[in-house]
Amino acid sequence: MHFLMKNRMVTALTMVFVFLFALPAKADTDEFSNEELQNFADAVVEVMAIQQQGQAEMIGIIEEEDMTVQRFNEINMQAQQLPLEDIEADEAEMEVFLDLLEKIESIQVELEEVLIEAIEEKDITLERYEEIMTAYQQSPELQQRIQQMLQVEQEEEE
């Protein structure tokens, strides 16, 4: 039981970032077409918006239960390192925390599905998105190319 509970104790966006950014080996930046990079850039914009909405929803749920996000995170960090009975929280606070954790995990599952759908709606596979993200994180040149695409797109919208 302790092992299962400890594994369930993850912070709100950790799963999302691990899922989206647990990336494969380094990709060659020249292997991406302009169309792929544009699709990637569009997907990143959408992913960021969805993540912000999800985070706001999770924060709202925590605050509705009269717990601060800081306190939730403190208990969560303890729960990742200690048996539940050793966490510095009274019984009522632990009950609220565990209830919140269940709600947040449910939101995270939904969020993961929405993120995958949003990426794929931009005509890019999740695998290709991850490949480009890896290259983007490692290549200043690729970062510049994508930033220029986003800037041009923003200027066209204005």
Residue pair 26/135 in contact by the 8 Å Cβ criterion: yes
Residue 52 lies in a domain: yes
pLDDT in tens, 4-26: 333 333 333 343 444 444 444 44
Our count of domains for the chain comes to 1
Residue reference for tokens 């041009």: 152
Look at residue 20 and tell me if it is in a domain: no
Residue 15 lies in a domain: no
pTM over 0.85: no
Beta carbons of 11 and 71 less than 8 angstroms apart? no
Q: At what angle do helices 126-138 and 14-21 cross, to 10 degrees?
A: 90
Nearest C-alpha neighbor of 22 from the set 131, 112, 108:
131
**DSSP string across 39-73:** HHHHHHHHHHHHHHHHHHHHHHHHHHTT--HHHHH
User: Is residue 19 domain-resident?
Assistant: no
Residue 138: inside a domain: yes
Structural domain that includes position 115: 2-9+33-157
Whole-number Å distance between alpha carbons of 6 and 89: 16
Note the pLDDT tens digit of each residue in 60-84: 999 999 999 999 999 999 999 999 8
Looking at the predicted structure, is the pLDDT value of residue 27 above 60?
A: no
Judge contact between 80 and 9, C-beta under 8 A: yes
Q: What is the pLDDT of residue 29?
A: 58
Tens of pLDDT, residue by residue over 77-105, are: 999 999 988 999 999 999 999 999 999 99
> Does residue 37 form part of some domain?
yes
Question: Which tokens hold the place of 155?
Answer: 């200027």
Asked if residue 118 belongs to a domain, the reply is: yes
Whether 108 maps to a domain, the answer reads: yes
Q: Is the pLDDT of residue 54 over 80?
A: yes
